[in-house]
A and B are shown apart, each in its own frame.
Chain A
Amino acid sequence: MSHQPVAIVGIGQTHHKKRRGDVSIAGLVREAAQRALEDANMDWGDIDAVVLGKAPDLFEGVMKPEMYLADALGAVNKPMFRVHTAGSVGGSTGIVGSHLVGAGRHKRVLSVAFEKQSEGNAQFALGGGKSGSIGAGGAFAPFIRAYIRRSGAPEDIGWQVAVKDRQNGAKNPYAHLKLADITIEKVKESPMMWDPLHFLESCPSSDGACAVVFTDEDGGKAASKPPAWVLATAMKSEPSTFAGRDAVSPQGAHDCSAEIYKAVGVTNPREQIDCAELYVPFSWYEPMWLEAHDIAAPGEGWKMTDSGATALDGDFPVNMSGGVLSSNPIGASGLLRFAEAALQVRGQAGDHQVGGAKLALAQAYGANAQFFAMWAVGSSLDPLGS
């Protein structure tokens, strides 16, 4: 790609909670944006354009809220853009922001994604705004059952993911759930929600926001803290359903990561990529995405989980932040994945830092496991030294 290099120089997020009754929607997004600006050593006036992402407006009951949020996000007299690509939207919001810098349209862009689920009824909206919603868990459970049957994975894989991500989340000061004392036994004995998913294998419903500041090569090199470089971005979509579609391992997921690997020069993802933040709202999606993104061979993803390879101290850590299982403000969840990958290669992930991470992958997916957004970020523009 001939576009200009793009650097991430500021990252901010809110403390995610079930209900952030202490702030309005504007207060919530501003909290994340303010932290990102402070991290970038910038002020509101330094930003040239703002990109806002969130999942369906029905979650809060505010139509096109970017209009009302223009003031809170310092966008007055600037370009303000609104992205909505279902669950992948947080990722798309980061990608669209990075493209504005990459295309040379702007020098400094602020991408913000949020959801304030306590202000509405997410379950209702997840069902398309109709009654009788089966929700996301009900929609994905059949895919998960198909994966288990196809791969022959033992039943405790999902429980292991649930424990591992919550233990990681306990190390993340911003995470919604802090379940440091979670055990396999507790997950197994928590109520069955959507067979085979137990309550503790499901994501929470959170209020939260995430913000990222992008700048150009000069800005990245001049930044006071180490930047993360956006090495490649990709967005793929496929239809919700048709005879022959593989909903367990969607073609769009394979295509999305293949495009990223090619752009970055990755030939062996498990060896060359240091860690990954994958959108895992239900435990079993960890092995499913490891396979659908060709990090593990078909049927081998669960073995990575089982062997501890995806733990914080494993050879391929996944969801160091605690992931969607620990915090899920839906519209922000994708950008939180993308931001955590950037924190890792900047060496700023605190207690959930993977030592020496140079190349990190982040992914978000949406709707009927059919929309995919992904980026790879590096500690330098050539982390593989190719």
Chain B
Amino acid sequence: MPRTENDIAIVGYAQSPMLRRSEHTETEMMLPTVQGALKMAGLTKDDIGFTVSGSCDYLSGQAFSFVSNVDAYGAWPPINESHVEMDGAWAMYEAFVRLLQGDIDTAVAAGVGKNSNSDAATLYTIEVDPYYLTPLGADPQSLAALQYRALLDSGKATERDVAELVARNRASAKGNVHAQVSGDFDVDELLAADYVRNPLRRHDLPPTTDGCAAVVLARGKKAYELCERPVWITGIDHRIEPHLPTLRQDLTSSISTKLAADGAGAGNGPIEVAEVYAPFSFQELIVTEALGLGADTAVNPSGGALAANPVMVTGLIRVIEAAKQIMENGKSRTLAHATSGPCLQQNLVTILEGDA
């Protein structure tokens, strides 16, 4: 398909080491990562038309935490810059929309998350409705356990199905240099483990990760100037659902994922590889069903969020892993999914394509 000046591609990317605890600040994690993505595209900071990052004050443990992160971009002379309190995948969405304004032709989007600063089970109780859910101490694990129970009760999956999924992801992660958790695991041994929140076991939970990722986007002809095989973003959309899990139509399906996939044109062709962000193991089944993926699509060859989960970054990492499949692994059409909020409340789908 001929590309136009309104077509936007990924032309560079980088990930930081994914660690249980980094002694670096967010800014220090970002600097080499942003530099790495720029270097891959053969650019320097002065070539960039727009910069946007995604991070979360509560994760880093202070208000205005992103302010010092502009230092990672070398914001002098002053730069065109924005910030979202969302996963870096949504930062990339803002960069995509900004490029469509047509006055600039390059952009950087990054995500950074210092998850080791906090206790997730305590912290995330304030990510939910402050009047009705926070006072209950409704942490993501408890809400995910309810969703998992609904999935089991629906008959769509068994605990063994989910344990097999975990074993597959951890085995896949052996080939991922950024994986924090990987290896060969016996399904029966996994099933013998105690529950953390019934029916969730420890291996159903993602690791706690500090990390950063960045992508460089280019528009139209510029993409070919910078990259031998640009990864075109041929579709991108995101949707949100009711906040209270009790108001969802069906916790075992993900309507917002399906709407986003439809909006991104996921069904317009075969998908060779899908990288999905399922923070809790069983959610991969819900997401892949909503995406309409069949047996011919390889899911999470990177090991997914079970291998590394730097919240605010994990969604952008899925985009990078799906882009890698095209730029480095000869694939031609892949999908990346990102999520946010309790029980998969908000979902983003990106369709990536290489030239034939």
- What is the interface of chain A, defined by CB distance below 8 A to chain B? 1-3, 24-25, 56-71, 75-86, 92, 96, 99-100, 102-105, 125-130, 234-240, 242, 250-252, 255-256, 367-368, 370-372
CB distance from A246 to the nearest CB of B (A): 11
Contact check, B240 vs A78: say whether CB atoms are below 8 A apart.
Answer: yes
A251 CA / B78 CA spacing, docked (Å): 7
A102 CA / B101 CA spacing, docked (Å): 7
**B66: which of A25, A84, A129 is its contact (CB, 8 Å)?**
A84
CB distance from B309 to the nearest CB of A (A): 16
CB within 8 Å of A: which of B229-265?
237-244, 247, 255-256, 259
A82 CA / B75 CA spacing, docked (Å): 23
Taken residue by residue from 282 to 308, chain B's Cβ proximity to chain A (1 for < 8 Å, 0 otherwise) reads as: 000000000000000000000000000
A238 CA / B67 CA spacing, docked (Å): 9
**B97: which of A57, A64, A80, A103 is its contact (CB, 8 Å)?**
A103
19 of the cross-chain contacts (CB-CB < 8 Å) are A1-B101, A3-B102, A60-B130, A62-B126, A62-B130, A64-B340, A81-B94, A81-B238, A82-B84, A82-B85, A96-B94, A99-B97, A102-B100, A103-B101, A236-B78, A237-B75, A237-B78, A237-B81, A371-B81
B20 in the interface (beta carbon within 8 A): no
**A71: which of B81, B82, B243 is its contact (CB, 8 Å)?**
B243
Contact check, B68 vs A77: say whether CB atoms are below 8 A apart.
Answer: no
Residues of B within 8 A of A62 (CB): 126-127, 130, 134
Residues of B within 8 A of A240 (CB): 67-68, 70
Residues of B within 8 A of A236 (CB): 78-81
Contact check, B255 vs A77: say whether CB atoms are below 8 A apart.
Answer: yes
Contact check, A56 vs B57: say whether CB atoms are below 8 A apart.
Answer: yes
Residues of B within 8 A of A57 (CB): 56-58, 63, 85
CB distance from A91 to the nearest CB of B (A): 11
Residues of B within 8 A of A235 (CB): 80-82
Residues of A within 8 A of B243 (CB): 67-71
**B82: which of A67, A76, A92 is its contact (CB, 8 Å)?**
A92
CB within 8 Å of A: which of B79-106?
79-86, 90, 93-94, 97-98, 100-103
B194 in the interface (beta carbon within 8 A): no
Extra inter-chain contacts (7) besides given A75-B240, A105-B97, A370-B70, CB under 8 Å: A1-B102, A3-B102, A63-B56, A65-B130, A81-B238, A82-B90, A236-B79
What residue in chain A is nearest B247 (Cβ atoms)? A71
A372 CA / B78 CA spacing, docked (Å): 10
A63 CA / B133 CA spacing, docked (Å): 13
CB distance from A124 to the nearest CB of B (A): 8
- Top 3 nearest A-B pairs by Cβ distance? A2-B102, A103-B100, A56-B63
B28 in the interface (beta carbon within 8 A): no
Residues of B within 8 A of A100 (CB): 97
CB within 8 Å of A: which of B59-80?
61-68, 70-71, 75-80
Contact check, B70 vs A239: say whether CB atoms are below 8 A apart.
Answer: yes
A149 CA / B237 CA spacing, docked (Å): 52
| Given A57-B57, A128-B64: A63 touches B83 (CB 8 Å cut-off) | no
CB distance from A224 to the nearest CB of B (A): 28
| Given A56-B64, A63-B127, A128-B62: A85 touches B77 (CB 8 Å cut-off) | no
A217 CA / B93 CA spacing, docked (Å): 23
CB distance from B129 to the nearest CB of A (A): 5
B123 in the interface (beta carbon within 8 A): yes
Contact check, A61 vs B130: say whether CB atoms are below 8 A apart.
Answer: yes
B314 in the interface (beta carbon within 8 A): no
Residues of A within 8 A of B256 (CB): 77
| Given A67-B128, A71-B247, A84-B85: A3 touches B101 (CB 8 Å cut-off) | yes
